[in-house]
Amino acid sequence: MKVENITVKPCREALQPCIEFDLNLDTSGSIIASEEIPHIVGVTLYIADGGRKTLLAPCIIEYLNIYGPEIMPQQPRSPAIMISARNYVIQKSVEGRTPGYNLQLKCKTLLTRGALRFIENKRRLREDRSVELVLTLRYYTLTSIATQGADSLRMPRHFLLMTQPLREETITITIDGYRWVKEFLSTFLLAEYDVVELPIPKLNEANQIAQEHLRRSIEALRTARTAIYETLMIGPAFTALRNAINELCEGLIPLGLAERVSTVGCKFSEDAIKQHMGDEELAKLITETLTKLKSITQKAPEPTAPHISTERQIQLHQIESLIGIATYLTNLILKTITEKQFQIES
């Protein structure tokens, strides 16, 4: 079969990762004879694995339409080969047969987390970081006894016969690496997210350095989130997250909410944050959580030194949650600073 058009996209309203395929196929010039109509019985999705293919999951057929030279809303009176496809009856005249039929096929494949991890492992081995999928169509062909002699033409009904054996058509689909990350992974790994606005407090001229550190912290949080989907590696995301926490701490030093300690570098001041927040438990939560997050990121593999790592196997979705925790705590600190400034000004 010849692929005239194919659209591949992530399912937008699925409870689990899902890929949707929309194909338009032409049977002319294939092993299907001109008087045969293909009858799809199954579609399966594989991933290219070197010189072979590895099964991912079946593709659930949601729509199948077969059309030929004439599509008629009711049964034709002349002898013809017919097959019902949805609300249409497809006619193929016995005389002057056309080269072949066209198929419109839509199917969806649900992917497990294990299948996604396997796809990612294979994708990273490819130089261009693309994803090469293989869609396999299994089908029989149908023909009519109306083509088998004059006696059959006088029959009041036209019967379809299924030919043997079961045939298979393989279609290779390559998804660009950038598109896979931006369109597919962002849909597979993300559900619905709240928009978090991180305000940069308007500090006086004496605290412009602090304001610049806070701006860098916000930018590093954004970089950490982006690094997850652009690299699909732990190191770059953790490096950016650690930078975000360090910049936040440096920005709080001029405001008296952090201090520099010779043994550990910048350290959040629990007592000062307690006075700032007005709540001891809240201050303890902020300082201990940010300190622990920084410790976790220091034990992750670096982009330039992947050998520096622990035995801990942190997953990408877990890193995303850690970035979210740091983002909300940063938001809590910055909004409190902004609110106090507003109270002073008014």
Q: Where are the domains of the chain?
A: 2-176, 193-345
The per-residue pLDDT for range 59-75, each reduced to its tens digit, is: 999 888 877 654 333 34
* Fold of the domain spanning 193-345: Four Helix Bundle (Hemerythrin (Met), subunit A) (1.20.120)
Tell if the pTM clears 0.75, that is, is over it.
no
Q: Which pLDDT band, with edges at 50, 70 and 90, does 301 fall under?
A: low
Measured CA to CA, the distance from residue 160 to residue 215 in angstroms comes to 71
The per-residue pLDDT for range 136-169, each reduced to its tens digit, is: 998 877 765 554 444 444 444 455 566 667 888 8
Least confident range from 20-24, 50-54, 146-150: namely 146-150
Better-scored residue on pLDDT, 119 or 193: 119
Supply the pLDDT for residue 164.
62
Count the Cβ atoms, other than its own, within 10 Å of residue 170. 11
Q: Where are the beta strands (DSSP E) in the chain?
A: 2-10, 18-26, 37-49, 52-58, 60-67, 70-72, 80-85, 88-93, 102-110, 131-144, 160-175, 258-261, 265-268
What is the H or E stretch that residue 346 is in? none
Residue that is written with structure tokens 């940010």 in the block: 290
Q: Which pLDDT band, with edges at 50, 70 and 90, does 83 fall under?
A: very low
Averaged pLDDT for residues 111-128: 85
In terms of Cα–Cα distance, which of 345, 340, 344, 346 is closest to 199? 340
Q: Side chain identity at 80, as an amino acid letter?
A: A
Supply the pLDDT for residue 287.
93
